[in-house]
A and B are shown apart, each in its own frame.
Chain A
Amino acid sequence: MKCDEIKELMLDAAIGGQGVPGMNEHLLDCPACAGKLQEMRKTMALLDEWQAPEPSPYFDTRLAARMREERAKPERKSWFSWVRMPVLAGALALVLMMAGGVNWFTRSRTSSEVAGKAGPPPVPVVGTAVGDLQTLDKNEDLYANFDLLDDLQVQPDVDADQETP
């Protein structure tokens, strides 16, 4: 057995575990490993000296008070507690499926419109920004005529003002 192999077993040996065959023979032949094991045992014994205090007499009383407060609180539900309610979870799944279906239908329709460019030009949707701009663009001539009409209407007023004493 080699020193590296002993290293892995040293911890168990130090805490009183049973040695494996060949370990003792190695320790007899290797003062370095034997010394290390001895120190490890002493370290374990030294660590045993660190004692923790017992719970104080007030531990149970304080815990009882905290437990009373805890029981008095309304039961808190976790964020995902609704997942455990089958009806709610089912309804949510249905809504998600419907939303997914609508989304898929809309996308497939849009892509088919893009694919069919050879057909008639798309009709602009009234009320959307693009639709309004397209409408304005088409009615350019009409608005030019409105400007002309405005000019015609202003002229008599101007003339009337001039006639006023």
Chain B
Amino acid sequence: MDRGLLGMGSIGAQPAADTTALMGSAAGLTDAEVMLRVKAGDESAFEYLVQKYRRSMVGFMYRMSHNAAAAEDLAQEVFLRVYRSRSGYEASAKFTTWLYRIATNLAVNHARDTRNERPEKMASLDEPDQETGSTMDVADGSPTAEETILRRERMSAIRAKVQALPERQRVAVLMHKYQQMDYKQISEVLKLSESATKSLLFRAYETLREQLKEFL
């Protein structure tokens, strides 16, 4: 097997130092070129892509699924699917377009499957946040308990309002606002024209502006 970019082991075996070296060796390559090396059997090239996109993928999946554990599972599944599909990969589109198309399909299917498993939650001081697992810190004075409650209410409202958007609007907003993707990239993932994507986003943000008015 071609040990390629680094000549290293599999994912997780040698994390930090090797990854840094890997980033350096792949610096001149586009993601599509790196993916073509994965296709050719270069395992370290795949690790490079995982390390590059794991954070953004977990973030995207978290905002789609509203559940930290599910987000990690889904992000891992995205990378597994990328790996499984490596032999059929064609560098005809940007790698991120392909990656987010896989991620969007997975996330949307997960959201549909678990639609009835996620009741609306109220902010509570006594219970830990079921999405992040963190408990509300009210012991020290900064921020105050009231501020913390208000902040949690705001977070809850943002999550609920984004969640309530139509599917495509929701995906578009998450990619635009949190993944820093431009109109062209979003339009390619959603298979829409750029102007349709812009219009979709405008409608989504208009809805959010109206519905989050009390928090502005």
> Chain A: residues with CB nearer than 8 A to chain B?
7-8, 10-11, 14, 36, 39-40, 42-44, 46-50, 52-56, 58-68, 70-71, 76, 78
Q: How far is the CA of A58 from the CA of B11 in the complex (A)?
A: 12
Contact A68 B72 (CB under 8 A): no
Would you call B186 an interface residue if the criterion is a C-beta within 8 Å of the partner chain's C-beta atoms? no
Contact pattern, B 179-216, Cβ under 8 Å of A = 1, otherwise 0 = 00000000000000000001001100100110011011
CB contacts (< 8 Å) of B154 on chain A: these are: 46, 49
A10-B202, A67-B11 known; A62-B72 Cβ under 8 A: yes
CB contacts (< 8 Å) of B68 on chain A: these are: 53, 56
Contact B11 A11 (CB under 8 A): no
A53-B62, A64-B10, A70-B84 known; A42-B216 Cβ under 8 A: yes
CB contacts (< 8 Å) of A62 on chain B: these are: 72, 76
CB contacts (< 8 Å) of A68 on chain B: these are: 10
Contact B212 A59 (CB under 8 A): no
Q: Can you spell out 15 A-B residue pairs with CB atoms less than 8 angstroms apart? A: A11-B202, A11-B205, A39-B216, A43-B208, A43-B209, A47-B208, A52-B58, A52-B60, A52-B71, A53-B62, A53-B68, A55-B72, A56-B72, A76-B84, A78-B88
Would you call B166 an interface residue if the criterion is a C-beta within 8 Å of the partner chain's C-beta atoms? no
- Which of A11, A48, A63, A76: most chain B Cβ within 10 A? A63
Contact B84 A64 (CB under 8 A): no
Contact B55 A55 (CB under 8 A): yes
CB contacts (< 8 Å) of A46 on chain B: these are: 154, 158, 212, 215-216
Contact A40 B215 (CB under 8 A): no
Contact B12 A43 (CB under 8 A): no
**Residue from B50, B162, B209 in contact with A40 in the complex, judged by beta carbons closer than 8 Å:** B209
Closest to B131 in A: A53
CB contacts (< 8 Å) of A44 on chain B: these are: 177, 205
Closest to A54 in B: B55
CB contacts (< 8 Å) of A10 on chain B: these are: 202
Chain A's interface: helix, strand, loop or mixed, by majority?
helix
A11-B201, A14-B205 known; A63-B132 Cβ under 8 A: no
Give A41 Cβ to nearest chain B Cβ, in Å. 9
Contact B159 A43 (CB under 8 A): no
Q: How far is the CA of A44 from the CA of B180 in the complex (A)?
A: 13
A49-B158, A52-B178 known; A66-B80 Cβ under 8 A: yes
A40-B209, A67-B80 known; A53-B216 Cβ under 8 A: no
Give A132 Cβ to nearest chain B Cβ, in Å. 56
A7-B202, A14-B205, A68-B10 known; A63-B79 Cβ under 8 A: yes
Q: Which chain B residues numbered 1 to 47 have a C-beta less than 8 Å away from chain A?
A: 10-13, 15
Closest to B73 in A: A62
Q: How far is the CA of A48 from the CA of B54 in the complex (A)?
A: 20
Contact A70 B58 (CB under 8 A): no
Contact A55 B75 (CB under 8 A): yes
CB contacts (< 8 Å) of A71 on chain B: these are: 10
Contact B83 A59 (CB under 8 A): no
Would you call B164 an interface residue if the criterion is a C-beta within 8 Å of the partner chain's C-beta atoms? no
Q: How far is the CA of A7 from the CA of B202 in the complex (A)?
A: 9
Q: How far is the CA of A123 from the CA of B10 in the complex (A)?
A: 75
